Chain A
Amino acid sequence: MWSRGRLAASLQFDRIGFTYPGEKSFAINNVSINVKPSELVVLVGPSGCGKSTLLRIVAGLIIPDSGRLYVDGEDTVKLPPEKRCIGWVPQNYALFEHLNVTDNVGFGLRMQGVSRPERDRQVEEMLYLCRISEFAKRSVRSLSGGQRQRVAIARALAVHPRVLLLDEPLAALDPQLRTAIRSDLKQLLRESGVTSLFVTHDQHEALAIADKVIVLRSGKIEQVGTPEELWNFPANEFVAEFLNSAIVTVGTAIDECTVEFDDGLCCRTNRNVTSGQNVTLAMRKENFEISSDGFGLKAHVLSCEYSGGIYQIKVRTEKGTLLPVTSSEKLAVGSIVLVNTKENTEMAVVGAYERSVEDNWLQGWIPSTRQPRIRVSIEDS
């Protein structure tokens, strides 16, 4: 790991709870999370779900009402922010406008009393790592959004923090830059090896860069897992809709791996179900197609939006179910089409699974026997 002198830390939240003074409802409600060293964990959820609050609790800017926070095994709830050695990148980067790039990045080292030559050397390394060496003497006022972001991250990393906190670091950038900068950011965080806690409200970002995703809603954890796990095995309706942009519907299982829903549409499921039971499904546009062979459900087109090479269409069946589907041709709103499930597709089943809890920190799941066993475990904590 690159982090000189300080190994990346592990992080544990143990039943953290917090309410803002004056508010009636919980901002954070009994949250327990386990983060391994060097892991890139993304906290995702709608506005107001408490993800930024959780970040500030790790930073020490908020003291939780209840619960404990362990960084590398030490309880740090009472430790003031200055002493935590945790990197912090706020949403608008909060650069020191009166300093140039070098002085911004070297600020933390200066506060710690590192001598000038040593400081210059470390700053130079950091600028190189973040690929902003050419801006070394520039005033931060003249930088673009993406450049400011890198300065903010370089500044946070320069003090070799045990944990790095990023509060919606891509939100302030132009949309077209976000995807490119996103992969740069992921690579940078990997190279530095620091444990990262990343907050975003953009589900695509979460799925793209995380090692582990934590979905939050109203201060509570909805699901924890790798992006693939959350995509294929959403624990509840909220996760399916928010993270996967799926439409949730209920159908009846007609055998171990097929479910019928709406007026006769059938689909294979990606895990075993009990025949005859009601099954909640997460329908995605990958599961459907406009039928060309005469089989399918009659539905009329509600909306048809062009999104570069393909049309995103929403249809409503006679029973009133909304279905997402794509087409390479434009369809008129209000026209009637036939919609069927695709041949080889498997639909995700929504639902909580039996949990295997190895200790208080673990939040994991075990899928059905059809899939190879995947279990999230702590290696040596």
Chain B
Amino acid sequence: MRVKTQQPKDGIRSIGKMYAWGLATVCLLPIVFVSSVATTPVWQHGPWAGGFTLDWIIQSWMVISPYAFFSIKLSLLVVMVDFIIGIPTSWVLARHRFPGRDVLLSLANVPIAVPGIAMGLALIITYPLLRKSGFLLVAGHFLYTLPFFIGSLTPQLGNPSVHDAEEVAATLGANFPKRVIHVIYPKVRTSLLAAVIMVVTLSLGEFNISFFLFNPQNKPLPVELYSAYITGRLEMAAAITLWFLCFVVPAAILLERLGGSKVGQA
């Protein structure tokens, strides 16, 4: 029978642990609060005074479902555009050295430096006629998500092990399409998935740009969320938020598991 080992008190570790758990609690308590508000009939009377109810939750779904579906459609569209533009750019950044490569890399990260409202305003002032079509919305989301897409994909594409495996395959006689399917794709699959999830999550939660670029036919979920906050009832707003979290939180957890990381807008 072994006695449980005690280890020397590590101040650095203890403090760090305290702060980390403190932060985690602070970050997650609000979600608990929101759930309690969303399930109380009348919040003014106090938490769950009057029982636990799912009414708000059901009602809110009926309100937001068109917007939720629109947001999902939008994010998938954005993923497609990111694919079309991002994959070639990632490829050329990862595989080739050429004069101006650093410039291209910095360019890809420029949207991070530009606040969302500035991007939205600029787009709408420049292409006012396109507003109705929703094209600007896609463009805005695309600009916002591209740096993260490229940042997630390029390191993996540039990974020496991928390149080496590809060269071996080439010496064994595989042509380019075959190499992509059998060698490159399996190796970058996880990063690609993480990038897609990242783009979807970012797009679902994007507000600053959408605020300027939306119109009643094309209204993303966060904009509806905002109106609920400003004008709606607290319980309804909480219920809508809960639905929003249902979409976004599992994706974020999945993303962290896959090793991805990202930053969103304020």
Query: Which residues of chain A have a CB within 8 Å of any CB of chain B?
Result: 18-19, 21, 60-63, 65-66, 80-81
The reply to whether A62 and B2 form a contact with Cβ atoms under 8 Å apart is no
Query: B8: which of A21, A60, A65, A66 is its contact (CB, 8 Å)?
Result: A60
Minimal beta-carbon separation of A177 from chain B (angstroms): 31
Assess the A21–B9 pair: CB atoms within 8 A. no
List A contacts of B3 (CB < 8 A). 65-66
Q: Give 9 pairs: A residue, B residue, CB < 8 Å, sorted on A.
A: A19-B2, A21-B5, A60-B8, A61-B8, A63-B8, A65-B2, A66-B3, A80-B8, A80-B9
Q: How far is the CB of B68 from chain A (nearest CB, A)?
A: 46
Candidate in B3, B5, B8, B9 with the most chain A CB atoms within 10 angstroms: B8
Q: Which secondary structure dominates chain B's binding surface?
A: loop
Chain A contact surface mostly: loop
The residues in B between 1 and 57 inclusive whose CB is less than 8 angstroms from any CB of A are 2-3, 5-9
Write the residues of chain B forming the contact surface with A, with a CB cutoff of 8 angstroms.
Answer: 2-3, 5-9
Kindly state the separation between the CA atoms of A376 and B55 in the bound complex, as whole angstroms: 86
Find chain B residues with CB under 8 A from A60 CB.
Answer: 8
Shortest beta-carbon contacts, A-B, top 10: A65-B5, A65-B3, A63-B6, A80-B8, A63-B8, A21-B5, A60-B8, A63-B7, A19-B2, A81-B8
Instruction: Tell me the bound Cα distance from A302 to B265 in angstroms.
Output: 71
- A63: which B residues are within 8 A, CB to CB? 5-8
**In the complex, residue of chain B having the shortest beta-carbon distance to the beta carbon of A78:** B8
Given contacts A18-B5, A60-B8, 17 further A-B pairs with CB under 8 A are A19-B2, A19-B5, A21-B5, A61-B8, A62-B7, A62-B8, A63-B5, A63-B6, A63-B7, A63-B8, A65-B2, A65-B3, A65-B5, A66-B3, A80-B8, A80-B9, A81-B8
Report B-chain residues with C-beta under 8 Å of the C-beta of A81: 8
Give the complex CA separation of A62 and B6 in angstroms.
Answer: 9
Q: Complex: how many Å from CA A10 to CA B5?
A: 26
Query: Complex formed: what's the CA distance from A61 to B6 in Å?
Result: 11
- Output the least CB separation between B120 and chain A (Å): 42
Give the residue among B2, B6, B9 with the most A Cβ atoms within 10 A. B2
Docked pose: A117 CA to B2 CA in angstroms: 51
Q: How far is the CA of A61 from the CA of B5 in the complex (A)?
A: 13
Report Cα–Cα, A21/B6, bound state, in Å. Answer: 10
- With the chains together, A118 CA to B69 CA distance in Å? 73
A22 to B152, CA, bound (A): 36
CA distance A252 to B120 in the complex (A): 95
Compute how far the CA of A311 lies from the CA of B60 in the bound complex, rounded to whole angstroms: 87
In whole angstroms, how far apart are the Cα atoms of A325 and B76 in the complex?
75
Task: Name the B residues within 8 Å of A80 (CB-CB).
Answer: 8-9
Contacts of A18 in B (CB 8 A): 5
Instruction: Report the minimum CB–CB distance from B184 to chain A (whole Å).
Output: 37
Q: Return chain A residues, CB-CB under 8 Å to B9.
A: 80
CA distance A18 to B6 in the complex (A): 11
Could you say which residues of chain B place their CB within 8 Å of the CB of A19? 2, 5
| Whole-angstrom distance between the Cβ of A77 and the nearest chain B Cβ | 10
* Closest residue on chain B to residue A20 by CB atoms: B5
Chain A residue nearest in CB terms to B9:
A80
List A contacts of B5 (CB < 8 A).
18-19, 21, 63, 65
Residues on the A chain within 8 Å of B6, using CB: 63
CB distance from A136 to the nearest CB of B (A): 30
Interchain CA distance A30-B9 in the complex, whole Å: 24
Q: Which of B5, B7, B9 has the most CB of A within 10 A?
A: B5
Shortest beta-carbon distance from A227 to chain B in Å: 34
Residue of chain B at shortest CB distance from A19: B2
Q: Return the chain B residue nearest A81 by Cβ.
A: B8
Task: Name the CB-closest residue of B to A59.
Answer: B8
